[in-house]
Structure formats: C-alpha cells, structure tokens
Chains A and B, each alone.
Chain A
Amino acid sequence: MLLKDEVEMLRRVPLFSGVAPAKLKLLAFTSERVSYKSGQTLFRQGDPADAAYVILTGGADILSDSPSGEIKVAEIEHDSIVGEIAILCDVSRTATVRANSALEALRISKDHFLKLLSDYPEMTIEIMRVLADRLSHTTTELSEARSKQKQAAK
C-alpha cells in the first residue's frame, strides 16, 4: 500500500476528517506501517503506552483482564483509532488489543501524536468529542446497571 492510499484511508477516520490531506500524508509518512496476523496482540494491558494505532484494514478485539480471565469488552473495526487514551493520560494500557482478522495499522508514536494535537486544534477537538461521547455512553450504561441493581435488591 502506498502513502497516497493511506491518506485516503486516514481521511475516512473521523478523528482526521478535519485535517488537510498534505498533513495527513506527513502523518502517514512519519508513522510506522505495521501488519498483524489474526490473533496477534497489538499491546497488552499493563504495558507502558508508547503509541496509538489507526486501524486501516481488519478488526480487533478489546479485552480486559478480570479474575475469571480475559473478557471481551468491545470490538473495533477499520478506520478507528485505538490506544490513544493511555497516551493522553500517561497511564499504562487499560486493555489488551488483539487482532481478530488480518490487520493493517499505522503506529503513531506518543511524541508524534502529542505534537499533532498541539499543531492541529481541530484534531484535539475531535478527540475531545470522541472521549466525551464515550463518557456519556459509559455514564448511561452505569446508571442503567445501577437501576437494574436497585431493582434486583428490592
């Protein structure tokens, strides 16, 4: 796959939709292109976070460790970004990500990602939007779970 194809794919990622194609090309060039086989791990829960991944093709499972073993928390598809939270908050990986099919990704190192955010405010806003979205989503789920719990207690 060539740089210009990657740029086309990056444009489809909502996070980068507001960024000029020339800058996307630069981002693609300075990122590492990595491919994974199905079942291969992108990163493990607890590892230090050093990069974010933009999934170009394929999909992956997000897994969380629990006392009873790994639980699949969510699934991600192509054109999405994963692993950015650990970079933003400087914490270790909160989940394990494993390819569930042949997967192609762009690996954006932590330094480059942060530099991008400071260079392109529109990206930062987009990140905020995604995070806020996830937060409201989580809050809804939490309150639903609580009300269920209350009902069960009664």
Chain B
Amino acid sequence: METSLTRYIWSNTRLQQIWILFVVAVSMIPYFMSFDLPKQIVNGPIQGNGFETPGATRTFMHLEYDLPALGKVVFFDGLELTRFQTLMALSLVFLLLVIINGLFKLYINTYKGRLGERMLRRIRFELIDRVLRFPPAQFKRVKSAEIATMIKDEVEPMGGFTGDAFVQPALLGGQAITALVFIIMQNFWLGMIAAGIVAVQGVVIPRMRKRLLELGRQRQLTARELSGRVGEIVDGIGTIHGNDTSNFERADIASRLGLIFSIRYDLYQWKFLVKFINNFLAQVTPFLFYSIGGFLALQGRLDIGQLVAVINAYKDLPGPLKELIDWDQARQDVQVKYNQVVEQFNVDMLVDPKIQALAPDPVNRLEHSLHAVNLTLSDDSGAPLLRHVTLEIKPGETAAIVGNSGSGAEALAEAFARLIWPEQGRITIDGKDILELPESVTGRRIAYAASDTYFFSGTLRDNLLYGLKHAPLTTVEYEGAKAAKNRWNINEARRAGNPELDVNSDWVDYVSAGVTGPDDLFKVVRPVLDAVLISQDILDMALRSTVVIETHADLTDRIVEVRQALRKRLKKEDLDDLVVPFKLDEYNPQATVGENLLFGSMRRPMMTNRKLAAHPYFRSVLRENDLYIDLYTMGLEIAANAVELFEDLPPDHPFFQQLTFMTADDIPAYQVLLQKLQGRGIDAASADERTSIIRLSFSYIEPRHRFGLLNSQLMAKIVDARARFHQNMPDDLKAVIERYDPERFISSATLLDNVLFGRIGFTQADGSDRIRTILRDLFDRLGLFESVLSIGMDFDVGSGGKRLTNVQRQKLNVARALLKRADYIIFNRPLPALDQRVQDHITHNIMEDLHEEGHAPAIIWVLSNTALANLFDRVIVFDKGTLVEEGTHATLLEKNGIFKELVS
C-alpha cells in the first residue's frame, strides 16, 4: 500500500481535486465582488455620491472590458437608474451574490464530502480486501476486534481529510499570502516583522506538535488495544466466569483506561499549551506594530495612514494562518493514523489477487493425485510438526490417517487444506503447488472439515450452502426505481474502486452440488443431513418456528391435510387422547384459560398479553356475563394456593421451577394482597390489584395445576365469551390476532401448534417425544419432509452459530464439506464433541452410503477411533511427525507394527 496518505489521495482523486480547485478559484470572484458591494451601496445611493442633483441617474451594469485581441468590447450598455432604483438594484445584486456564494459553498462542500466518502469507502474496501488475502499465520497474531476498529474508526478521519487535502492549503495559503504581500507593500519592514513572526509560528508550532502527534499515536494504539481486549472479554466470557477472573479483567481494563486517561490528559494539556503559544505569537505582532510602527511614526519615518492600513490588513492574516496550521495538524494526525493502519495491513506473503480471481464458470474435476512432496511443517514457535513426508493420494481413494495427537496427522490435514503453509517441500496436484492454484480450484474441488467450526450469522440454509457460493451466477433484473438505484450503486462502486458484484444474485452453485436449482436442492441435502444425523434436530427447529407463508406455501397450503392425517394416525394407534384438539365451541382443558378465551394467536411483538389485557374491547367482553368476577375469584384462589404451597420455601428452592404463573419474588406481594382482599368482593381491589389477580387465572391449566377451579359452568362461560370476543372484534385487534381456524394455516403460531391444532395432554407420558416421532414419519409419508427441513433451514444460527450446540455445529460442518461434492474431502477429527458411538455411526454412514453414490471423491480422514480404519482403502500411520507405516488395514494388522499397538 502507498505509505504517504497525500500521495494515496492524489493518485486516486487527481481529477476531482483539480476540478474542485478550479471551482474554488471561480467561487472567489463572486466572493470578492460581495466584499466590494456594501461600499458601493453606502457611498452611492445611500450617501448620494453621483446623485447630487434631483432626478440624476447613473448607468447600472455597464459591462465593458479591454480584451487583448479585440480592444474595447461593450457587452452591455447598462441601464440608466435613479437613486432609489440604484439602491434597489444594488441591493438585489447583493442578494444575488449572497445566493451565488451560498450555492458555491453548498456545491463545494457536497463535492468535498462525496469525495471524502468515496475515499473512505475505497480505503475500507482495500483494507478488507487485504484481510481476505492475509496469509493464514497472520491471523494467529491479530485480534479481530482490533482489525475491526482500524477499519471502522481509525480510517474514518481520512475520509474527512480527503476533501480538504489540497483545497484547504491552496485557499488559506492564498489568503494568508495576499494579506502578507499587502502588508509588505504598505511598509517593507513592518511586513518583514509580520513575516518573521509567521516564520516563527511556522517553525515552533509544528515542533511542539511533534509531541502531540506522538501522543496521538499512543492514544490510537491504546484505544485499539482496548477494543481488542473488550473483544477478548466478550469471546472468553465463559472462561472468565468459570475461573472467577472477572476482577482480574476489571483490573486489567482499569489499568488500560488509566493509561488512556493519562495519555489523553497529557494530550489535552499540550494541545492547550500549543494553542496558548500560538495565540500569543499571533497577538505579539500587533504589539510590535503598535510599538515599533508607532515609534517609527513618531520619528516621522512612517506615515500614520500606512500604519493604520498595515494594522487593518493584519486582521486578515491570523485567521487563515491559524486554520492553515490546524489543517497541517489534521494532515499530520491523519498521516500518522494512516501509517499506523498501513503498517498493520502491509503484510508479507499476501495472497496474490489472481489466486482469488472470480471464476463464474464451472471448474473441472481434479483428475490427478494429491502429492505431498518432502513436506515439512512447523508450528509458530518453529517446532516441527511433520518431517519430510512424501505421500500420494489417488483420486477416488479413501485413506485413513491414524496417529496419536502430536503425531503430525492433524498438521498434514491442515496443510492439505492450506491452513498451514509448508516450511519445506510442497503439496501438488498435477505438478502444481496447491498454494499457487487459484482458490476457485482448491476451494471448490477440495473440501475440509475439522473440529473448529465457523458459522456466519444468518440462517442455517445460508451456512449450509456457504461452500457453494463462489460467484454471482444469476443476473438480477431490476425494474423502475430499483434499476436506477442499481445503476447508481454500480457507478459509485466503480468510483470507489469496489467490485461490482451483486450480492442479491443467487450465488449458490447448484450444478456443482449435483442439482438443477433451488427446487430439487433437497435431493442432495437430505441424504447428507441424514448421514450426519442432524435431520431430527432440524425438524425440531422447524416445529418450533413460525413459518413465512409466502416462501413455504407448499406446506402451508396442505396444512388441513396434515392435520387430518395426524388425527387419523393417532386414532389408528389408539392415541386419541395424546392431543386435545381446539374446537370453536368447546373448552380445551389442556390449554390455559387465557388461550381458551383468545382462541387464536397473537402477532408478537405488536400484540402481547399485557396489551390485550388493557384493550377496552377485551375488557368489555369480560365484563359482560360477570366473567370478570369469576376470573377474579379464580385468580384469588390460585394466589391463595400458591402462597400456601410456597410461602415457607427459600426463594432459590428448585420447586419454584414448577410455579409457572409467578416467581419467588412475587410471593410476598401476593401474600399482602391476599390479606387485604380475601373474603371481600372485587370492589375492594384497585384496578392494578385486579389486574395482578386476574392475570393469574389466565395461565391456569386444570390438568397441570390441579387446584380444581374450573367447572363446566365456568368453562361454558369462557367459550361463550370467546364467541363474543371474535364476533365484533374491532379492526385494530383483527390485524394482530389470528383466530384458530381448522381450515387455515395460522401464520403467527409455530409449525407444531399448526400441525397439532390442539395441545398435547399434560398427563400423557412422554407426549411430546411420541408426537415428534409420529410427525417425522407423517411428514415423510405425505412427501412434506423436505418442506419441513426447508423451514428448519430458516433458523437463525446467531452470531458465530452460537444458537446451535457444539454438536450441531460439528455435524453441520461435516455436512457442509460433503455438500460441495469435492474431489478430495479432508476430515480432520471433525466430530470430537459427539459420543464415540455417534461418531462411529456418522463415519459409517459417510463411508458406506455417500461414497457409493456415483460420484466418488477421495476421502482423507484423520480418525479419532482407530478401529474404523477398516472402512478405508488405505491406512497411513504417523508417529512423532513422520510417516511410519502405510498399507491396507489387513496388511498393517499382520505387520505387528505401531498400527497394531494403536488399535489394541
């Protein structure tokens, strides 16, 4: 990267800088004209110069210029105007100039701003581009939060500076020099004094600022380190809690903040000291003018008019000068920041951009062997991991790599995946070093999965298909305003040196996954998900999620059929009572009182229990029939029962988990309420108290809580209220409450609720497990399993995939590697989080089923369980960084070597 910021700015914005300099120069004309105009207005029409006689007129706007070749040219003869007319005309001209100046300012500022923003975009992109090309070892040294701070915050001022980089010194320098020259013209010696002081300012101030710059650099470094530490605290929060080191972290942060404070305070003090000296020097000049100039005037060597003119002219000097010095400081400051950043991003062995070049066309299969030639690998400290290994893996061959940890087997796998670069020797395909092959070959034809997984925040689908997103494969057609916006986007991207790749295009390379498009994707996805034993998890995610009807119409349109199939199935298996269905005119005892009243689903977060309870319509429905009083009485009973049961227990007692409708902290408050309200009517309670009592009744489920508070009369009353509630529901509620409708998909309820259209009975042993098993089978029979998986694929995996369990992440990581249909698949102990039994199961699945279907990749598997080696064509044994044995499973067993030891 360019080390000088000024040069970097100039080389990227040369034409724009020249244009803006030109515009600034042109804008000076109306600017100076507007200086002259007030004098003309005052002297002319107001004071009456030239209008001495009544009715006198003057020529206005007479435009006549001496042009070199043409002589005198009259552009406009002018108008003859009276005194008042002239006043008005001149005033209007003044107004016009104000507007023109304003417009110039607007244009210049906008232009400079845009220039700066483009520059910022360019720098940021360039830095991220470099991050993408860092050699792998670099990432062991940098902290992600520090890189993020640099790209986000530290380069920010560079954008602002870009617009001013050349315009500001030209403008201010021009003004300062004009003022100085004017002074020198009035009186040479006084001019020299002014120039001398300016020179002192120009020498002393930047020197003093050196320290400011150094402090600024330290401030930047410490702040960056702070953000690195904050990032570490967030990432390592589990370790901090687990070791009770939060106070150690506090101490560390406090000491860092202390250092930052001392640097900033130092900076602050210096800044104002410099300011003071600067101001002093600026003010010392008039002092010299008054004393020396006055002395000269007294001696008669200087006439007073000149002295006054000099002092007047000097007023215009410090302003631009100060701004110029400020500009210079900003420049140095930004330059320091820029150097800092560039230093961090100027990394040796950066990956050549050609290796990452975009390749939209399919890449041919690798039909040559993967060779490791005299390969030596070492870790960061230089300790050898693997010594002089030569090895060939043929296309389609399956090889088990076996060895204790530290044997070099894992390092070899990482080298195949280009995660470690060889110390000596190389890895080649068809004679070409894999480090020099474009990533479009290695990244598509070689797949790798190890135990450390990474998932990007987004949906499960995005992450699973991540390995297929190499190039934008479709052209998105934009229409109308969107097309214009798209053209603008592309144009701007080009101007800031960004690529014009469309992120909205479909990047998924379906063909290389072995399908034709998104519609039959599950043909290949499902066997892979089944093989890594994660389809049940994804099914569960789907059941727990709400479904976007637009994108999953294939399932939502058939919901009635699914519901009926489930009923039929339950009946057939004599499990009728497992699920109690919702019926419009019946009370569902397995649902809460609240659910029975609502008989629908609320669109959260627009509608919540609290908002509904406060809604006047809902209240009016409850008031009719005195249901309000019934629920109040019921709530009071619930409170009494809860208090009786729990009042003696300490708040952290595990039994409180069972108390669903209040927390341990609520108990004392309800105790007080009960003392006040028990045995008295509803009128004794205030509005707030009523709410907190009635609230309890809404969560009540008779078979679960078993207080015996519901009788058939009350249930009928609730069903009646339900009917009335839905009958005249106002539009604002209709928009946020969906009534349960057996014929329709309820978009705000989960898929499980939609399919069950009822509640699993509380007393049913293992009810939800049995339902899950039945549903899995049912979806399969109805040909909907893939649609359900597709819904599960919408699950948001959270930052770094943290909403998935470690087991799920490792399984998906393997699935992702398999989906690429690479020619070489490398598994580096990919599933340590799983039970040995499950690991073995998955290995069997992959080796036996997936390897059989048509396309046969070479599989290189660093095994955790040596016993599985018999699944592979060849077994390669490593010990202490060297290859010690290789051969088929049978021959190695006969050999009585290290392998036999490892197996036994």
Contacts and interface: CB of A to CB of B under 8 A. Distances in A.
Nearest to A40: B765
Contacts of B482: none
A40 B707 CA distance: 28
Given A3-B707, A26-B646, A33 B654 contact: no
Given A2-B707, A3-B708, A111-B654, A29 B645 contact: yes
Contact of B706 (A3, A22, A115): A3
Residue of A4, A25, A35 contacting most chain B CB atoms (<10 Å):
A35
A151 B644 CA distance: 62
A111 B658 CA distance: 12
Contact of B645 (A26, A36, A37, A115): A26
Interface in B389-441: none
A139 interface: no
A140 interface: no
B764 interface: yes
B765 A115 contact: no
Contacts of A33: 703-704, 706, 762-763
Contact of A35 (B704, B707, B765): B765
B71 to A, nearest CB: 108
A4 B653 CA distance: 22
A34 interface: yes
Interface string B625-662: 00000000000000001001110010001110110000
Contact of B763 (A4, A26, A35): A35
Contacts of A4: 708
Given A29-B645, A36-B765, A1 B655 contact: no
B568 interface: no
Interface residues of A, number: 24
Given A2-B708, A3-B707, A25-B645, A34 B763 contact: yes
Contacts of B574: 37
Nearest to B763: A35
Contact of A6 (B703, B704, B706): B706
B705 interface: yes
Nearest to A3: B706
Nearest to B704: A33
Contact of A112 (B644, B655, B706, B707): B655
Contacts of A95: none
A115 B658 CA distance: 14
Contacts, number: 51
A1 B654 CA distance: 24
A1 B589 CA distance: 13
Given A30-B658, A111-B654, A115-B653, A1 B706 contact: yes
A63 interface: no
Given A2-B707, A6-B706, A22-B644, A35 B764 contact: yes
Given A3-B708, A4-B708, A30 B764 contact: no
Contacts of A22: 644-645
B871 to A, nearest CB: 27
A99 to B, nearest CB: 9
A42 interface: yes
Contacts of A30: 655, 657-658
A36 B763 CA distance: 8
Interface in A104-123: 104, 107, 111-112, 115
A36 B365 CA distance: 58
A108 to B, nearest CB: 11
A22 B649 CA distance: 12
B16 to A, nearest CB: 70
Interface in A93-151: 104, 107, 111-112, 115
A4 B708 CA distance: 9
Contacts of B646: 26
A29 B706 contact: yes
Contact of A34 (B644, B649, B705, B765): B765
Contacts of A25: 644-645
Interface in A59-118: 104, 107, 111-112, 115
Contacts of B655: 26, 30, 112, 115
Given A3-B707, A22-B644, A29-B705, A115 B764 contact: no
Residue of A6, A30, A37 contacting most chain B CB atoms (<10 Å):
A30
Contacts of B641: 3
Contacts of B762: 32-33
Contacts of B707: 2-3
Contacts of B649: 26
Nearest to B761: A35
Interface string A22-53: 10011011101111110010100000000000
Nearest to B658: A30
A37 B576 CA distance: 12
B658 A29 contact: yes
Residue of B703, B705, B765 contacting most chain A CB atoms (<10 Å):
B765
Given A26-B646, A42-B765, A112 B703 contact: no
B538 to A, nearest CB: 25
Given A26-B645, A33-B763, A35-B764, A2 B654 contact: no
Contacts of B703: 33
B32 to A, nearest CB: 87
Interface of A: 1-4, 6, 22, 25-26, 28-30, 32-37, 40, 42, 104, 107, 111-112, 115
Interface of B: 574, 641, 644-646, 649, 653-655, 657-658, 703-708, 762-765
16 contacts: A2-B708, A3-B707, A4-B708, A6-B706, A26-B649, A26-B655, A28-B706, A29-B645, A32-B762, A33-B703, A34-B763, A34-B764, A35-B764, A35-B765, A37-B574, A104-B763
- 7 tightest A-B CB contacts, nearest first: A2-B708, A30-B658, A34-B765, A3-B706, A35-B763, A30-B655, A26-B645
Given A6-B706, A33-B763, A112-B655, 14 more contacts: A1-B706, A2-B708, A3-B641, A3-B706, A26-B646, A30-B658, A32-B762, A33-B703, A35-B763, A35-B764, A35-B765, A104-B763, A112-B654, A115-B653
